[in-house]
Amino acid sequence: MGISTQLALALPASIPSPPSELSKFSIGPLTIHAYALCILAGILLALWLTNKRMQARGGNSDMLWDIAIWAIPFGIIGGRLYHVMITDPMYYFGLGGQQAHWAEIPQLWLGGLGIMGAVSLGALGAWIGCRKAGIRLSAFADAAVPGLLLAQAIGRWGNWFNQELFGAPTTLPWGLEIDPNSYNFPAGLPADTLFHPTFLYESLWNVLGALVLIGLDRKFKLRRGAMFCCYMIWYGIGRTFTESLRLDPAEIITIGPLGLRVHQWLAIALVVAGAIALFLVLKRTRRQDADPFFLPGRKPEAAAEGANPAGTEASADAAGEGPQEKNIE
């Protein structure tokens, strides 16, 4: 038996979904949902990496928490509002003669957070926190986006536990198994149908994106919002692809001969095109003599004297920084 044949026999013919009892479990009177744990794990990883990157720029943990205490709840609310109002308003509000599901709107553990809404409203919370911390919003965004991509990558596994947001049927060997008794299983398909694991595609795309952005930052020292623009372009391209495969309900908007899901239009028109436009605007309007990280008059004394709160140049480089900085517009 050849090595290739042995590998083929060893590899699974599909990706199983977790049993329903793993999607939630109880500790005394408390019910823990795997979806919520994935979101929490992603947030913690994002905070850890963002803290390292902010320290390399002259910030500290206190500044991060000043921002996070506003950005995280705003982001969660924005993500939920996007899902409820943009992704599936007919289900939640009972449009088109359907039964309304008002009570499910605050039940985040059931799934349903839109990253575009989370980033949009989370940016407002981050702006409030940045004003309090004395940091430019663009500088915080540049430091945070690799961690944000990792948070999105981990959060997508919550869809796997909930058996939701999968793609069209496929015969590929990495097809995803879905319980035929699941509420999300498409009607009329055989019970053994496999589906594109779009959660996995997006998770891997986001991990790769975090590594790519950190590499670009090390080489080009992306500042003044340039890193955030790169994030938007990377995420928008990946989201456009995964949306083309998904089966979950979404509004279809037709413009000319092209009919796409609302999330695809938003990813193309607002995220990718918006990022390119924002990059050009920032390039023309950013002052070169301004501090790229701190707001005017808010730079701490230690940072003003050239101290490195991260400790060494090596720690700065590990977070995607270098000992000498040049701002790339």
Bridge partner residues of 177 (DSSP):
194
pLDDT at 110: 77
Q: Going by C-beta distance under 8 Å and a sequence separation of 6 or more, which residues neighbour residue 137? A: 123, 126, 127, 130
Q: Is 243 a residue whose pLDDT tops 90?
A: yes
Residue 12 confidence class, pLDDT cut points 50, 70, 90: low
Q: Token pair for residue 187?
A: 């009607």
Q: Whole-model pTM?
A: 0.87
Report the SS3 class of residue 222: strand
Residues 1 and 173: their CA atoms lie apart, in Å, by: 21
Residues 7 and 9: their CA atoms lie apart, in Å, by: 5
Q: Which of 74-88, 151-165, 288-302 has the lowest mean pLDDT?
A: 288-302
What is the average per-residue pLDDT within 82-93? 90
- Sequence length of the chain is 329
Instruction: Compute the radius of gyration of the chain from its Cα atoms.
Output: 22
Residue 328 confidence class, pLDDT cut points 50, 70, 90: very low
Cβ atoms within 10 Å, residue 98: 11
- Assign 3-state DSSP to the chain and report helix, strand, coil percentages, each to 5: 60, 10, 35
Cα–Cα distance list, 41 to 64, 246, 286 (Å): 17, 25, 35
pLDDT at 13: 80
Residue 49 confidence class, pLDDT cut points 50, 70, 90: very high
Residues 261 and 292: their CA atoms lie apart, in Å, by: 38
Residues 39 and 146: their CA atoms lie apart, in Å, by: 16
pLDDT at 88: 86
> For 20-172, where are the E strands, in sequence order?
24-27, 30-33
Among residues 95, 111, 93, 99, the alpha carbon closest in space to that of 33 is found at 111
Cα–Cα distance list, 220 to 111, 281, 319 (Å): 38, 19, 14
Residue 164 confidence class, pLDDT cut points 50, 70, 90: very high
Residues 323 and 312: their CA atoms lie apart, in Å, by: 9
Cβ atoms within 10 Å, residue 26: 8
pLDDT at 219: 95
Residue 314 confidence class, pLDDT cut points 50, 70, 90: very low
Q: Going by C-beta distance under 8 Å and a sequence separation of 6 or more, which residues neighbour residue 115? A: 79, 152, 235, 239
